[in-house]
């Protein structure tokens, strides 16, 4: 018997985006071999993940984990039906991405002034100016070689230096990034401060200002509220969610704390709600083995992987297949 809400939501599609290779590995001290990164990417794409942020175009001296950014990007670009995204901190990163032919550039700036100063040594206004120049470069690329350009707003739901961030500031920079030419936005709870009420308030405000532009949500589960915040964002109509396999990642300010929301648990929640993601739960769980073999010392989170699917669980894919 189908539950009422599952029928109602059956047609709603949700896009999941793996960020573990970037946000998850970023603060991990052990280098994951390039071949393992590519195996992870290939296996997750085979499980149905349509978009993966595979690396970051920062100077390798800053983050040695991304010393293989070129090889990882080129390898990922060979995987069929995968949108290959990468983080860019600045113009140099955008140039590297364009040269490599990456599909999507994720530019990030912090809404909070202190966080932006510490991260990229400039006030948020100057980051918007940088973004405009990057968009110009992106849009000057020949047809077919132009990557999608995403404007990411870090610390939008709280800052480890400043605490709560005014909603008006989030909306201001969201508008400015869209006016500058962002194809999409990502609103991020970088340090895991958000609660569902705050999520509803911030996302409603941003969505009402930026109209049809896709606004993705990037939540961390640092204080346990990650999936509750996803549910609140769903209520607002958000359909694009970042997450990390095994919840890889952490918080430089809180050793041992959880990082990104756990992709497997997020997928289970969405699928159980009757939302279509295109990702196979059991195949996704299998991908964890690539990580645990490659980095035996990394902390892996996740309830579903330990507990397994509910008895007699029928996935959205199975129900769609049965209905076809």
Kindly list the residues in this chain that would bind a copy of itself in the complex (CB under 8 A). 1, 3-6, 9, 158-164, 166-167, 191-193, 195-198, 200-201, 221-225, 227-228, 230-232, 251, 253-254, 256-258, 262, 265-266, 268-269, 272-274, 302-304, 306-308, 310-313
Least Å distance, CB 65 to a copy of itself, is 22
Q: Where are the beta strands (DSSP E) in the chain?
A: 15-18, 51-56, 83-88, 104-110, 148-154, 184-189, 214-219, 240-243
Least Å distance, CB 2 to a copy of itself, is 10
**Dist. CA 175–CA 158, nearest whole Å:** 19
Longest CA pairwise span in the chain (Å): 57
Least Å distance, CB 232 to a copy of itself, is 6
Contact 56, 292 (CB under 8 A): no
Contact 169, 176 (CB under 8 A): no
Least Å distance, CB 313 to a copy of itself, is 7
Least Å distance, CB 221 to a copy of itself, is 7
Could you give the C-alpha distances from 165 to 133, 154, 161, 294, in angstroms and in order?
Answer: 26, 11, 10, 38
Q: Residues, the chain, total?
A: 324
Determine phi and psi for 92, rounding to 5 degrees.
Answer: -60, -40
- In a 3-state reduction of DSSP, which class is residue 17? strand
Which residue is listed with tokens 């939501």? 9
Least Å distance, CB 94 to a copy of itself, is 31
Q: What Rg do the C-alpha atoms of the chain give, in angstroms?
A: 19
**Dist. CA 202–CA 17, nearest whole Å:** 21
**DSSP state, residue 79:** S
Contact 102, 109 (CB under 8 A): no
Catalytic residue among 42, 251, 287, 298: 251
Would residue 251 show up in a list of annotated catalytic residues for this protein? yes
Which residue is listed with tokens 């690329």? 141
The structure tokens listed for 204 are 């409603």
CA atoms within 13 A on the CB side of 230: 27
Catalytic center residues: 251
């Amino acid at each position: 018997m189908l539950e009422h809400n599952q029928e109602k939501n059956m047609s709603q599609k949700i896009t999941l985006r793996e960020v573990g290779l970037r946000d998850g590995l970023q603060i991990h001290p052990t280098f994951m071999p390039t071949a393992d990164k590519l195996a992870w990417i290939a296996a997750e794409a085979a499980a149905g993940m349509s978009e993966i942020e595979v690396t970051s175009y920062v100077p390798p001296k800053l983050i040695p984990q991304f010393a293989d950014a070129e090889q990882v990007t080129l390898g990922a670009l060979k995987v069929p039906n995968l949108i290959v995204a990468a983080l860019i901190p600045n113009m140099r990163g955008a140039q590297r991405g364009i040269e490599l032919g990456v599909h999507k550039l994720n530019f990030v700036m912090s809404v909070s002034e202190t966080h932006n100063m510490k991260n990229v040594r400039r006030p948020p206004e100057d980051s918007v100016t940088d973004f405009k120049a990057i968009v110009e470069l992106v849009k000057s690329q020949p047809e077919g070689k132009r990557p999608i350009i995403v404007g990411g707003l870090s610390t939008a739901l709280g800052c480890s230096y400043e605490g709560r961030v005014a909603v008006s500031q989030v909306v201001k920079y969201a508008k400015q990034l869209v006016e500058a030419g962002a194809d999409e936005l990502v609103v991020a709870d970088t340090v895991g401060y958000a609660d569902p009420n705050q999520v509803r308030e911030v996302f409603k405000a941003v969505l009402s200002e930026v109209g049809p532009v896709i606004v993705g949500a990037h939540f961390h589960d640092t204080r346990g509220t990650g999936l509750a915040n996803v549910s609140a964002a769903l209520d607002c109509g958000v359909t694009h969610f970042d997450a990390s396999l095994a919840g890889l990642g952490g918080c430089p300010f809180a050793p041992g704390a959880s990082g990104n929301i756990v992709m497997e648990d997020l997928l289970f929640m969405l699928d159980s709600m009757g939302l279509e993601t295109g990702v196979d739960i059991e195949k996704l769980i299998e991908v964890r083995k690539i990580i645990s073999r490659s980095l035996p010392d990394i902390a892996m989170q996740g309830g579903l992987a330990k507990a397994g699917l509910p008895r007699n669980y029928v996935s959205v894919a199975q129900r769609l297949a049965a209905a076809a």
